[in-house]
Amino acid sequence: MAAPSLPDDAKIVAKVTVPKEVLAESMSTGAIIILVVTGFIVLLWLLGMLVSYTNIGNNGNFRSDKIEDRKMAWALALHSWNPIVNLQKLFTVKDGGDKTLNVLNGVRVLSIGWVILGHSFAFVMFSSVKNSQSLKVLFESDWFSLVPGGYFAVDTFFFLSGFLTFALLISKMYPKRGMIGIVNTLLIYFHRYYRLIFPMVYIQFFTMYVVRYIGSGPMYRTTWDWMNKSCFANPWSNFLFIANFHPWSMGSACIGWVWYLMCDMQFFIISPPLIVIYCLNRKIGKLVVLSLIIISMIINGILALVWDISMDGKSSKNQNVGDVVYNKPWSRMGAYFVGAMFGISYFELSCREKYQGLSNTIFNKCYDILKNSQIISLLVCC
């Protein structure tokens, strides 16, 4: 029996029913506020460029080439918002200073590229729409072994953070034996906090209130609800830099990718007291930092034994490794304080001629031995 056919002039009409609450949904008050703030920031950008590249706000001093000398105070305030100038400062390597640290810029680029590469594949593997056969081909490639390595690339940033924090703060605090006063100590913490808090607050509220209106699709609303459930329940956890503890579950965190900032801030909080100890007694200071590295190794070993965590980061006892290892400070502080030890050694090496007694430290003795041996030359030749 032949299948029935439709006339050539027949029309097929599909009826799609959309819930009234979706059609009637209007932008929330929170979204409107965030968009107004965003518009205000864009306005400041435009005004900053207008002041920077015109004669608006000039104070009459045309002899100087520096804009700081030619503009009035209110104009300089707007100039500081110029996105072009700020991007130039961000991506320009300054002349002068300690040029031996310029190598860290390359380390940052390689590390962030590795992190982006790893997350790009992670989002594909964890998404609801994927081609399993294509993933299988990727997994069988020898080059794909580089991708899971991004799991450890974050520790590079902890290393750099520990290195720079200790190297720079020790150089400021050592001449005063660590006694910089309560006010200066509080300013160190305040400077660190306000540099991080404003962009993080903006990103959190933008994610909470605006993201739901800039996408669509069968999984979009579900994903948005999952991402923001904890944000509405615990909006203050990120602001206090305790979101890697509350909520405990990594999957329930608000904008969970800021777990790195939580750990980094927690490490930074205990760094000035450790630096004071080092300034008062170098041997005890190094011993304390070394002890923290060993403690981190012991804790990770115990957790791996208790929860039977394998090298691929999975637990045979159905324990979410992210909740007890991945974003917790006791697991990440090893890399930070290894960087701190290198920061101490860098300070002692670079200031050995400036401060009496530094030339006889264990780091400088090791450096002299390596310098006078053929090991470095062989490594360079290889």
The Cα 49–Cα 276 span in angstroms is 44
Domain positions in the chain: 18-88, 149-351
pLDDT value at position 248? 79
Q: How confident is the model at residue 3 (pLDDT cuts 50, 70, 90)?
A: low
In terms of Cα–Cα distance, which of 291, 297, 281, 375 is closest to 340? 291
Q: What is the dihedral of CA 55, 57, 60, 61, to 10 degrees?
A: -90
78 versus 247: the higher-pLDDT residue is: 78
pLDDT value at position 105? 82
Are 51 and 57 contacting, i.e. CB atoms less than 8 angstroms apart?
Answer: yes
Q: Quick: pLDDT tens for 144-167.
A: 878 877 777 889 999 999 999 999
pLDDT averaged over every residue in the chain: 82
Q: Quick: pLDDT tens for 350-380.
A: 877 777 777 777 777 777 777 676 665 565 5
Listed in order, strand segments (DSSP E) in the chain are: none
Q: What is the pTM of this model?
A: 0.82
Beta-ladder partners of 315 = 309
- What is the phi/psi pair of residue 145, to 5°? -60, -20
